[in-house]
Amino acid sequence: MTKTAVTNKIRRLRFDHGEMTQQELAERIGVTRQTVNAIELGKYSPSLEVAFRIARVFGVPLEEAFSYEASEEK
């Protein structure tokens, strides 16, 4: 899985919410810890449902947890 254009602030949000571990976040959103790690590193773009779950765990809007960097069209 190559790097995606979707970036996120999940690591910072985890630390801001009682230093939540990747495992804890994974259990709350229904994925594996390895998937959470892949999302944080930008190697995997989660589905819309998982993205919304992540935002809901941290109590923030989707746009605060994720952002999309569209590349310039040539």
Give 28's strand partners.
Answer: none
In the window 39-58, what residues touch another protein (CB under 8 A)? 41, 43-44, 46-47, 50
Binding segment (CB under 8 A) for another protein, from list 5-13, 34-42, 52-60, 62-70: 34-42
Candidates 13, 25, 31, 57: give the one binding another protein (CB under 8 A): 31
Q: How far is the CB of 33 from another protein (least distance, A)?
A: 8
Three-state DSSP class for residue 56: helix
H or E segment at 41? none
CA of 61: how far to CAs of 22, 57, 67, 74, in Å? Answer: 20, 10, 11, 32
# residues contacting another protein (CB under 8 A): 15
